[in-house]
Structure formats: C-alpha cells, structure tokens
Amino acid sequence: MKRIVWDDTLSTGNSLVDADHKRLIEMINHLFDAIERGTTSSKELNTIFDEIEAYTVYHFEREEALMHAECLSFKDAAEIEHHLQQHQNFVSAIPKLKEKLLRSSDKETAIGVVDFLAHWLLEHIIVEDLTLRQCFTKEQRSNNIIDLLVRKLSLSSRSLLIVVIPFIMLVGVSLLYSLSIFRDYQRLNDAYEISHVYMCVNTVSNVLQRERGLSQAFLSSDKGRFKEELTQQRQKTSEVIRTCHKNFAVMAKHHNINMEEDFSRLSQIRHSIDVRDTNASELMTQYTKIIDELILMVKKSNTIDGRIGKLNEPLIILLSLKENYGLLRMEGTKILQQPDKSLADFKELVILNKAYFNAFDLLAPEKFIRRLEQINNSENSQILIRMQDEIINHTESDLDPEVWFEEMSLKIENYAQLIDTMVSQMREDADRSMQEAYETLVVLWSLLVVMFLLSLWISIALKKSILQPIEAFTKSMQSLANGDKQFFINPYRKDDAIGKMTAAFDSFRRSLIQADYASILLDIKEQKAENYETLANLDPLTKALNRRGFMEHFEAAFNDAQMQQTPLSLLAIDLDHFKKINDTYGHDVGDLVLQRFVMKVQKMIRHEDSFARTGGEEFSLLLPATNKEIVLRIAQRILEETEAIDFSDISVGLHLSVSIGISQYREGYTITSLQKEADKQLYKAKENGRNQVVSS
C-alpha cells in the first residue's frame, strides 16, 4: 500500500472535523512507516495503535455532537442512524485489529491491518462524512428577506414569484367560496350514501317482518303449515342481509349500533323456532328488536342536508308504520289460529296505525300523501278493513289465516314500494344538488386556471432564455455524474454566461470520453493479466483450485475467522485406492475419475467455499462460517454422492469412495496447525477402513 495524502477534496467544510481526519491520516501513516522499517518493537506498535484508538473515539464523539446539534431534522434520519452504527462497529473492531497485529510476526499480515485502517478512513470520509456534510457546516443565515427567498426557493420558483403573488390573493378568495361549496357537497354526498342504507333498511325490515309473521304462523299451527313458505323466506332474508352487509357495517360502526350481533342471532332464533323449544312471544320479540334497531339506525342518521332532509321524517314514520303493520299481521294470524286469544294488542296496533297516518299527513310532501291515500283506498286495504272488523267484533266467519297473512303482506309490500320511491327521490335530489355544486366549482376553477395561464405566459420568455438552458446544463452534469456521457447540450448561440457554460461543459465531456477510451485500453491489458493470474490458480485437469490458489483463499478465510470469531472448518479428502484404479484402468480413466469427482463436489458447495486439488488424489475443502453439525452433514453427503457416481460407461466394476478428515478452527490455531489436524483425522479415517468421516 501507499501512504495516504490529504487533499482538500476530502474537506467536510468543518475545520475541526477536517483536522481530526488529517490527524488520523498522520497516525495511520506513522503506523505504516513503523511496520515498513521492521525494527519497531511490539510495545511501540501497541502505543501507536492505542493512540489511533483513543483519537478515533474522540473524533467520533465530536462528529456525533455536531450531528445532534445540526441534523436533528435531517430528512433521512436512517442515514444518520447508519452513520452512528458504523462508528460503533469500528470502535468494537479496533481491539481485534490490534490483537491481530501484535500476535502476528508476518509483515504481510501487519500491512493488511494498516491497509484495512486506511480503507476504512477513506470510506468514512468520502462515503459517510461528505454525504452528511450539512451536519458539519453551520450556514451563515441572514435576516434579509431577499436572502431568505434565495435560500428557500429555486430559481424557477423565484422567477414565477411576481406572477404568483397576485394570483394567490385571488385563489384565497376562491378557496373560501369553494370550501363552502365543498361542505355542501359533502353533506349532499352523505345524504346520497345514507339513501343506500335507507333502501337496505326498508328491504331487510320487509323480509324480516315477513319471516317473523311466517314464524308466528308456523308456531301457532299444529300441522306444520307455513313450513315451506318459512323456509323460502329465510333463504331470501339471508340473501338480502348479505347484499346489504357492507352498508350496515359502515352505518352501524358510525352510530354505535351492532347490527352484526343482531343478525348473528337469526340462526339461533330460527333453530329455536324449528325445534319449538321456547315460547313464540319471546322469539317474535327477538325479530322485533332487530327491526327496531334498523329503524333506529335511520333515526340516528337524521342529520342530512336540509334541501333533501325534508323526506327523512316521513320516511321514519313510514318505516314505523310498515313495522306496525307487520306486528298487526302477526297478531291477526295468531288470533285467527287461536280464537280465544286477547284482542288488546291487536286493537292497540290498529289505533297506532291511525296515529302514523296523521303524522305522515303533517310532514310528508303532497305527492307522497296522495300516494299513501291511494294505497289506503285500494281494494286490498278495503278487504283488510273488513277482516279487521270481523276480528275485533268476533264475527263468526271462516277467515283463513293464510288469506289474512297474504293480504297484509301485499299492503306491507305497497308501503315498502312507497318507501323505495321516497328514497329514490332523496337520491335524485342529492345527485342533482351535487351536480350543481360540482358545476359551480368547475366553472370557478376553470376561470382561475385561465387567469393563471394568462399570467404564466408573461414568464415564458424568461424561462426560455434562462431557466431552460440552466436546467439542461444541470441534467447534463447529473448525467455525467452517473456515468452517462452521451447526453449533450444543444449549441447555445449567444456569447453570454450561459453560452460559455455550455461550451465549457462540452469541452469537459470530450475530455472524459478521451480518458474513458484510454482507460478501456488499460483495462484490456489488466484483464489479460488477471486471466493469466486466474489460470495460475487452477488445476489444469479438474479446474478446481490448485494449492497456490487454495492458500490465498485459506489465508483470507483464516484472517476473517480470527477477527470476527466465526467458525472455519477444513476437510482433507483422499480418494480411496486411487492408485489401484490407475493401475487397473489406466491414467486416462484415472483423470476422468478425478474430473467427475470434482464436478460432483463443486455442485454441492457454496460460492464462498473453497475446493482444491492439493495432490494427485488429495483434495481440500474449506468451509467458512459453518458450524460443526452442518460440516459433518456436508462431509457425509460427499461420501454418499461419491459412492453414487456412475462409471458404468467405463466399467461396471469401477466404483469410487473417499476418506475425509475434518479440523475446525480454535483459539491459538495457525493455518499450519489446522492443516496438520485435518491430515491427522484423515489418517485415522484410512486406518479405520476408509470410506468414512473422522472429525477432531
């Protein structure tokens, strides 16, 4: 390695931080010089290293103090956190480096330690400190508003400032008006969304009311009547609830009404009805509670826009009226099936109907009042009035409960259709009002856009003459920084500052291209040398590493294991009876056996593992960062895969096995002792009969 020389390009802009970096460079150079002389004692080296360690800690503390003071609001906090973590990692690595330096008598190892320190320092300065340069430099801030604008706004923003200021005032007024319109739009949109819920409430309450009535009729019947109709109605109810589930979930959560729990009780209620294990009154109460919760949901949402909210109260009344008719249908069915039942509840429901009619007449729009009157004056309603009178007066008649149920269901369905009509009217009103609000906003902001474009046109000449050339120059420089030299700026004809900038850039780009081609020629020469170096490290027959290449890998892996305290295992492998194979089949077959064995092993190992032919039939396999259990499994697999190699194309009787000895790195081991231990275990494997693994 060479001595590190300080250059002002390494400056962070902070004289104290730069002074620390210069001092650390001097210390590392001093350590390098001491090692190069070869006469420095271990005590002196220890002193130099202690000084480096102490000053590094001092330097890190200074940097971290500056970061906390200047970069607390830095946009990339993760980058600062990474920087601080790198400090901690290096401080913890210094003692290991010192130990490695002092324990090794090898000059190459000592130079490696210094090289590591030098590379770390340069990376620390260039990659980390220069990236966070704003943390180390205090900006001289001025209270002058012009300087503030220059610092905060880009050139293009400043050029548009004159246009923007008057426009902002106009936009402010427009925003206030737009906000009012937007709030109206939100209320209208809420009403539109609520109308979906109203529609679902109407539909679900309708099917639940019919299911409740059929359930009551089924329970009051002793011959299983209404069973088929009840089953079909349950299916329809479940389907409608599934369809409306999403709307209910949103509204229920908003108004703190747990409809999910209510609907989940339906299965239990239905089961109780099927097995008749409780009284009918209690079960019907459960149905009624669910329907009441649905109507309560509508009541709680009665906060919609006044322009369409006039239908909200009549809707609630009509929903309650429909529910009252559902209860009346159920009570009438029970009375017809059980003539001795009390009429009190039935009469009360009839009276309540009249109260709902009166309330609807007071609150509903005229067209819906007339529609309700049409329903009440229909033939179906007249039939029901006569049937009510017969029930109340105990008139002897042959009224059929099923007829009563179906006639009542028809009227309830008519009310449900009227509710749907009213909800549709709400949705139409909301949609129309939202469209009007939207059109108003579009017109307002279209005028603002036109005014803005007219104002912007004034700045086009400035943009073309200054901003665009500067932007093109900036992109060109960024492209150069990213290695793209194909980007160039169109010639700028004027002989002004921008024209000179453009010409200087083009000259600089051409110089870089010339340097690149010179570098390419140099790379070709270096690649040839590297290819020769690679070939020198490979066994020509098997293309595995040779002893020279293996030792380079071994030394690097051994140093890593020492510094990082990670596992390192060495496998000494010997092909059993290989001489006999050569003698029996010839050396050509022996070479083929070696090649197939190497191919088999190379498929089983990782990229970071090192496999080499170190003798005629002797091989070594280095496994870094691998624990003992996995190493044993790998060795056993090599045994098994070797035995499985197919040589039937040569001779049916040709088989191959190997013996393996394993040694593992321990504190105090050297490369030589690790190799000797592996050879020792290999010898034991051969003594024990070959084709086996022996580990220390």
Nearest C-alpha neighbor of 70 from the set 150, 137, 118:
137
Alpha-carbon span 496 to 501, nearest angstrom: 9
Beta bridge partners of 346: none
**CA gap 1, 36 in Å, rounded:** 10
252/673 Cα distance (integer angstroms): 77
Residue 546's nearest CA partner among 633, 619, 457 is 619
Q: Burial, 474: exposed, middle or buried (Cβ in 10 Å; 0-12, 13-18, 19+)? A: exposed
d(CA 496, CA 579): 85
Q: Which of 323, 331, 617, 677 is catalytic?
A: 617
Give the separation between CA 567 and CA 432, rounded to whole angstroms.
76
Burial of 463 (0-12, 13-18, 19+ CB in 10 A): middle
Residue 576: closest CA among 685, 694, 696: 685
Could you tell me if residue 693 is left (phi over 0), alpha (psi between -120 and 50 degrees) or otherwise beta? beta
Q: Output the CA angle 493-497-502, nearest 5 degrees.
A: 55
Q: Which two tokens stand for residue 35?
A: 């090692």
Q: Token pair for residue 397?
A: 């008649």
Of the candidates 129, 142, 128, the one whose C-alpha atom is nearest the C-alpha of residue 16 is 129
Buried (b) or exposed (e) across 408-427, using 16+ Cβ within 10 A? bbebbebbbebbeebbebbb
* Helix (DSSP H) and strand (DSSP E) numbers for the chain: 23, 5
| CA 187 to the chain's CA centroid | 34
Question: What b-and-e string marks burial along 504-541, b requiring 16 or more CB atoms within 10 Å of the CB?
Answer: ebeeebeeeeeeeeeeeeeeeeeeeeeeeeeeebbbee
Token pair 């790198």 is found at 86
- The Cα diameter of the chain in Å comes to 132
Residue 353 · residue 324 · CB < 8 Å: yes
Residue 175: HSE in the Cβ half-sphere, 13 Å Cα cutoff: 6
Q: Please state the separation of Cα 334 from the chain's center in Å.
A: 60
Q: How far is CA 680 from CA 260, 576, 589, 639, 677, in A?
A: 75, 16, 29, 18, 5
Residue bearing tokens 């020792």: 680
Instruction: List, in sequence order, every beta strand (DSSP E) within 131-260.
Output: none
| Cα(503)–Cα(651) distance, integer angstroms | 76
617 in catalytic set: yes
Q: Of 16, 9, 23, which is closest to residue 136 (Cα–Cα)?
A: 16
**Helix spans in 255-364 (H):** 259-275, 280-300, 306-309, 312-337, 344-363
Count of C-beta atoms within a 10 Å radius of residue 487:
15
Concatenating the DSSP letter of every residue in 183-206 gives HHHHHHHHHHHHHHHHHHHHHHHH
Structure tokens at 251: 């509204």
Q: Which residues are catalytic?
A: 617
